[in-house]
Amino acid sequence: MKLMFRKQKCPNCKREYDPARDKCPYCHCQSEFLEDPRLKEFKNTTPLNFIKEIIIFLVGSLGLSVFVFIVEFIAAFFIGFQYGMDGGTRGREASELAEEFFASTDGLALVEFVAYSLLFVTLLFILWKDIKRLLLTFKNKKVFLGFAFGAALMGISMVYNMIIQAAFGNIDTTNANQTAVNSLVSSYPVASLLLLGLVGPLCEEITYRVGLFGFLKRIATWFAYVAVALIFGFIHFDFNCLVSGDSTYIAIEFASLPNYIIAGVGLSFVYDRFGFGAAWIAHATNNFVGILLSIIGNNIPE
């Protein structure tokens, strides 16, 4: 474990660099630990400085909530200001108008799309010096296996839903997260394809594979798989169900949870074996095709 956290000194240029990298980033001299079994485990991933990996995870996982809060705050201010100027609306009335707006699909779209865009820009800023390394993973000959894995994830999800419905009757496995996505797709199909189908998976792969998985893999690969799968599952879980007292609401959230955990394992496997490019393609395929099918379904005449 010390090997994967304590910096090693390059025997050629004498500069220190991350021990998970197979060569010195300054003079490109091969690592003296090249034959170490632990180092070989990182050959397909994109290890960063472990501190940066923690930062990326924290920004990616908490940043979206922060940006949502900021966008809602600014939007609520302008709503209150606008209605106050036009109709003399004050205090509680302005607050109620803002709440109604954020509960609508238009409000959800504004908040989610802007927040995701801000998160995307922030992650790119943090990764600026490492963007080239991430892009190089798309040159891997096996990167296109991501499409196959993305299709496999969709197939597994369909089979899982069929099993749940066969076992428990016509239980709905569409949780709060998927309900919100469906609402956005129905009203803003093109924006949803771009942001939820492409940008969203990019942000999540950077956050949970490059950041979290990369950091935890330094401790143990099996631990990284288990922890990332569970965390990835629960970030799609609506904890409000636990205090709602609604047994149906709770059942739906827990019924959908394994789907996300399985996806977390699968995407971590793709990243670990085939690199960032393949992992993003797999995730984007799953999301993009799902949204596209939803758009097509919404436009088929009944």
pLDDT in tens, 134-164: 999 999 889 999 999 999 999 999 999 888 8
**How do 8-9 and 16-17 pair as beta strands?**
antiparallel
Residue 2 pLDDT: 47
pLDDT in tens, 244-273: 888 888 888 998 999 999 999 999 999 999
Q: What is d(CA 98, CA 78) in angstroms, rounded to the nearest whole number?
A: 9
Burial class (CB in 10 A: 0-12, 13-18, 19+), 240: exposed
Low-confidence stretches of the chain (pLDDT < 70) are 1-3, 31-38, 81-94, 301-302
In order of start, what are the domains of the chain with their CATH numbers? 1-43 (2.30.30), 44-297 (no CATH)
Q: What is d(CA 223, CA 225) in angstroms, rounded to the nearest whole number?
A: 5
In eight-state DSSP terms, residue 139 is G
Q: What is d(CA 153, CA 155) in angstroms, rounded to the nearest whole number?
A: 5
Rg (CA), the chain: 22
Tracing tokens 């994967």 back to the chain, one arrives at: 4
Residue 1 pLDDT: 46
Output the CA torsion sign for 266, 270, 276, 279.
negative
User: Model's pTM, two decimal places?
Assistant: 0.89
How far is CA 7 from its chain centroid?
29
For the record, the structure tokens of 198 come out as: 């492409």
